[in-house]
């Protein structure tokens, strides 16, 4: 099933419905928002037997993975319900008046936050539940008091319609404003551009390709009234083991890394794409184990033909690169799942070629060989922006040396999440999460698209100076 492109009239109608719903939803209570979010979670879980086969038919991700993704999506809907019910969306600051002239004296100020308004939410291809119609962007926007207009992803067209029908039924049953959730559809770029250009759209949440995200960001910024664009655009997620980690646990780390590279056929935004290793025997042994373990992986089919074609173009370019030494180059037939790809390159050559810093979306990675930790830090600087950096070998309470500290500093400068154990695939939905790093991994590195701090993206601070008692007593709930 394919999505027919929504017409300009249909796009305008969806946004107008959201605009009509915005005032009512903005002044809704935490209990009202929580009830809707929990209702959506219950409805999603209750339709599992219908939705999972439908999603598997469109994505090929498998029933087990998709059922788990429903659980994750319902979990984050309920998590935002708990958050908003506890008053997080209405957090405010009361700054009592101080007598006297400025700068010591000042009037009474109450700093509150108001919802931005209708949010255009672009579904992702690789998570048909968790980053789609009722995914984290929708959950956080609704919790913040913003209506949502979903741009359905053509890669799971039938599923998107089914989930939206389910959601709109819950909205109607609860008596929430009908326009609080709407959807436009289609594969044409005109649909996305037309949605972002709608004057009533107040913000955009996007998860997808670098090229598509950058194009839509420019549309958002070139409007007569520019709006925030919260875009997650991809990442190469470097992994940097210290020499001690290679010596103590190299085999197990390499095997775990191979599984992470191939997990989900490499179609996770946190899939490891660069492995930074020292030259020498221990690094060589790690590369050998990683190559062997990665060759043994059996990735499933990719989400769709365009994504597969992009992967093949990427690994072909790497395979023909004069500075790369191929390690795994087996190519699969077009009608078979892809094979993992691995190559290695010197740090100097990697740093010098910005094209090697670009993501190849799929089960592929580059090994970058360095002479020391200082050069490893330079590799991180060259990458410039990543959702994650993984550093292995910092266990224990012993304070590291200057080179190790500098490596950690560089990791925190380029990444939204720095791991000191485990692998980057897998992003916990929790209060302390940060999923969004410096450009090019995201367009708004101060915000997150996963975790409960995502609520903050869709709220704007307002200072009320000497407000009347009735307004101050609302304690942050918008009028």
Task: Enumerate the β-bridge partners of residue 415.
Answer: 386
DSSP-based three-state secondary structure for 285: helix
Four-point Cα dihedral 128, 131, 135, 139, nearest 10:
-170
Q: Residue 3: what pLDDT?
A: 58
176 Cβ contact partners less than 8 Å away, ≥ 6 residues apart: 21, 25, 28, 32, 36
Confidence of residue 395 (pLDDT cuts 50, 70, 90): confident
CATH ID of 8-233+442-472, from 3.40.50.150, 3.40.1160.10, 3.40.605.10, 3.40.50.720: 3.40.605.10
Q: Residue 188: what pLDDT?
A: 86
135: its two tokens = 């995914």
Nearest one of 41, 24, 31 to 180, comparing CA atoms: 24
Q: Measured between alpha carbons, how far is 470 from 150 in angstroms, rounded to an integer?
A: 36
Clarify whether 269 is annotated catalytic: yes
Q: Taking all residues of the chain, what is their mean pLDDT, rounded to a whole number?
A: 96
Task: Tell me the chain's radius of gyration from C-alpha atoms.
Answer: 24
**Sheet containing 459-465: order of strands:** 93-95, 109-115, 459-465
**Burial letters 258-269, b for 16+ CB under 10 A, else e:** bebbbbbbbbbb
Confidence of residue 397 (pLDDT cuts 50, 70, 90): low
Render pLDDT for 146-177 as a digit per residue (tens, 0 to 9).
Answer: 999 999 999 999 999 999 999 999 999 999 99
Q: Measured between alpha carbons, how far is 348 from 36 in angstroms, rounded to an integer?
A: 54
Helix intervals (H) in 278-372? 281-295, 305-319, 347-352
Q: DSSP letter string over 63-99?
A: HHHHHHHHHHHHHHHHHHHHHHHTTGGG--EEE--B-
Helix intervals (H) in 86-188? 136-144, 157-174
DSSP-based three-state secondary structure for 120: strand
Residue 256 has pLDDT above 70, yes or no: yes
Q: Where are the domains of the chain?
A: 8-233+442-472, 239-419
Render pLDDT for 424-462 as a digit per residue (tens, 0 to 9).
Answer: 999 999 999 999 999 999 999 999 999 999 999 999 999
Render pLDDT for 212-253 as a digit per residue (tens, 0 to 9).
Answer: 999 999 999 999 999 999 999 989 999 999 999 999 999 999
C-beta neighbour count of 330 within 10 angstroms: 9
- 166, 242 in Cβ contact below 8 A? no
Q: Measured between alpha carbons, how far is 220 from 218 in angstroms, rounded to an integer?
A: 5
Cα–Cα distances (Å) from 102 to 99, 106, 107, in that order, read: 9, 6, 10
Residue 1 has pLDDT above 70, yes or no: no
Nearest one of 347, 393, 346, 390 to 242, comparing CA atoms: 393
Render pLDDT for 324-357 as a digit per residue (tens, 0 to 9).
Answer: 999 999 999 989 999 999 999 999 999 999 999 9
Q: Residue 2: what pLDDT?
A: 55
Question: Per-residue pLDDT averaged across 393-403, rounded?
Answer: 85
Confidence of residue 396 (pLDDT cuts 50, 70, 90): confident
Helices (H) and strands (E) in the chain, counts: 15, 15
If you classify domain 239-419 with CATH, what class do you get? alpha beta
Clarify whether 173 is annotated catalytic: no
Which one of 146, 185, 269, 312 is the catalytic residue? 269
Which one of 232, 265, 312, 359 is the catalytic residue? 232
Question: Per-residue pLDDT averaged across 124-152, rounded?
Answer: 97
- 407, 381 in Cβ contact below 8 A? no
């Amino acid at each position: 099933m394919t999505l027919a492109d929504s017409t300009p009239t249909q796009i305008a109608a969806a946004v107008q419905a959201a605009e009509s719903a915005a005032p009512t939803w903005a002044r809704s209570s935490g209990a009202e928002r929580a009830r809707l979010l929990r209702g959506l979670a219950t409805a999603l879980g209750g339709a599992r037997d219908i939705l999972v086969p439908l999603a598997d038919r469109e994505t090929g991700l498998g029933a087990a993975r998709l059922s788990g993704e429903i659980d994750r999506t319902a979990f984050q809907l309920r998590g935002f319900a708990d958050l908003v019910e506890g008053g997080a969306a209405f957090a405010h600051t009361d700054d009592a008046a101080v007598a006297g002239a400025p700068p010591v004296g000042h009037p009474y100020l109450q700093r509150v936050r108001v919802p931005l308004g209708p949010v255009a939410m672009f579904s992702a291809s690789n998570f048909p539940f968790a980053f789609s119609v009722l995914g984290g962007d929708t959950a956080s926007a609704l919790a913040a008091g913003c209506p949502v207009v979903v741009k359905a992803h053509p890669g799971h067209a039938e599923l998107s319609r089914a989930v939206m029908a389910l959601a709109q039924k819950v909205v109607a049953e609860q008596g929430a404003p009908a326009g609080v959730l709407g959807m436009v559809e289609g594969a044409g770029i005109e649909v996305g551009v037309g949605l972002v250009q709608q004057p009533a759209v107040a913000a955009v949440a996007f998860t997808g390709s670098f090229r598509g995200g950058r194009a839509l960001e420019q549309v958002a910024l070139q409007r007569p009234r520019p709006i925030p664009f919260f875009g997650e655009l991809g990442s190469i997620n470097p992994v940097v083991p210290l020499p001690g980690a290679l010596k103590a646990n190299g085999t197990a780390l390499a095997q775990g890394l191979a599984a992470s590279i191939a997990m989900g056929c490499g179609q996770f935004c946190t899939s490891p794409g660069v492995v930074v290793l020292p030259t020498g025997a221990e690094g060589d042994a790690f590369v050998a184990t990683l190559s062997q373990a990665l060759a043994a992986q059996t990735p499933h089919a990719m989400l769709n033909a365009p994504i597969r074609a992009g992967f093949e173009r990427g690994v072909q370019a790497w395979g023909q690169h004069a500075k790369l030494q191929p390690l795994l180059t087996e190519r699969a037939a077009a009608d078979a799942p892809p094979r993992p790809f691995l190559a290695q390159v010197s740090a100097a050559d990697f740093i010098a070629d910005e094209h090697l810093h670009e993501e190849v979306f799929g089960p592929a990675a580059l090994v970058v060989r360095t002479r020391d930790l200082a050069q490893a830090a330079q590799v991180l600087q060259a990458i410039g922006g990543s959702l994650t950096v993984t550093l292995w070998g910092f266990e224990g309470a012993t304070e590291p040396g200057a080179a190790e500290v500098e490596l950690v500093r560089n990791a925190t400068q380029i990444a939204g999440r720095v791991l000191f154990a485990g692998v980057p695939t897998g992003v916990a939905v929790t209060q302390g999460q940060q999923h969004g790093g410096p450009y090019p991994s995201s367009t708004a590195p101060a915000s997150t698209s996963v975790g409960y701090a995502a609520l903050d993206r869709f709220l704007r601070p307002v200072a009320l100076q000497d407000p009347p008692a009735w307004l101050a007593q609302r304690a942050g709930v918008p009028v």
